[in-house]
Structure 1
Amino acid sequence: MMVKQGRFAKSSKLRQIKEIKRARQEKSDRMITEKQFGKFIFVRYGLTMKAKMIGTDKETMQRFLIEWVDHAPKDKNWSIKALAVNTLKKVNVRVPYQFYRVVVRNWSKYQRFLKREIPAVPLKQRILLTDTLTTEEFEQLVARQLAANILLSTLGNNPQLMQQINLEQVADLSKNLMTENEKGIDWQKVQSIFKPMPFDMSTAPDTPTKNWLGHLLNEK
């Protein structure tokens, strides 16, 4: 029996529709929920950015990413500046100044990772990035956080005394932490200020964290 062109075209069309439906179903199956977002991003970090890093930078940036994702919205677009400020505040004095130094030197790589990976996460509502920060801009934010950390450490984290800290004090101290041209943090200054206030590793919640902090503290 000769197959008519019309019938062939029809069966071909049906096959195309089935293939489109199957492709859409597969795409739908690949979508993740907001609860799966963090795990998805951490896996992507392990496969991409982390694989290209060395030393303590690998774990430090992973821990920074964990803090970032924990406090980031999963249902709306991201402001890099706002999230950077919030994440630095959350990290606070829980880490030594060396942590911030590692994050600063890897900021451009980290931001490229966010720009590439976050909009690609297969959420039902994709997350877009609404702004970016240059390394210089990010360093200024870090300098302010370091200034706040110095004041907190100086006051022994006393809640009553900490209430006396004002934004002007933080701003003035942060400027003193910058190089003469104010284009970057003077890490030698930072080191000399924190030297009389050694970081207390006994606050580490577990052995892996304690080991990681030890490696950070030994960085020159």
Structure 2
Amino acid sequence: MNKIRRLEKTLIHLRSLGVLRASSSSTRCFSTSKDSEEQSKNSLSSVEPNIEKEAAIVHENAEATEESQAKLSGFARSYEKFSHIDDKKLESPQTFVSLIRNSKFVDLGDPEGKVVRGEIYHVVNDDLYIDFGWKFHCVCQRPVKNGQYYVRGSKVRLRIKDLELSSKFLGAETDITLLEADCTLIGLISSPLQIAEQKMKITQRPRI
């Protein structure tokens, strides 16, 4: 539709500017005045009907397309609209520099003293192995208060001291790491046992 209308506008614009008359006037330089006048009249008379025919054809095509669009039902229109909604656009791959600039690690800034959220993924006696999203996990002692709720899958709050426990032994040139982070356990956020107990209390309430 837009292309057809643009063609109509260009044809009308050319006629209004008199481009065809300019081309006919250029031929006068190579012929007599009488011959040039006759040629210009013949050229104009032969070109104008062609332009009118092309404009009429373009107009008819535009009307036909408008009628075809009007005849489409609501389902057909919605199908055309949403048929390409799931087409995936090709995205340019991000570089390592942009990925690390937009990562949580850079947003954290200086990690010392920051409070983060972790999850207990393993328990050995009173040792809680907690994953807080860093390269290494941390190991904290089970607290005495409400210690039964610190089970696997519990969400806890931590304060970071050091992201990697590493140091040089006597005479060594490189650091030796324990593959652990140093964090302090602040408290419990949520526990599967607490959620189960709350559900049991709700189900055991007497109905009035």
Larger Cα-atom Rg: 2
Considering fraction of residues, name the structure with more helix: 1
- Scaled by the length of structure 1, the TM-score of the pair is 0.24
Considering fraction of residues, name the structure with more strand: 2
- Scaled by the length of structure 2, the TM-score of the pair is 0.25
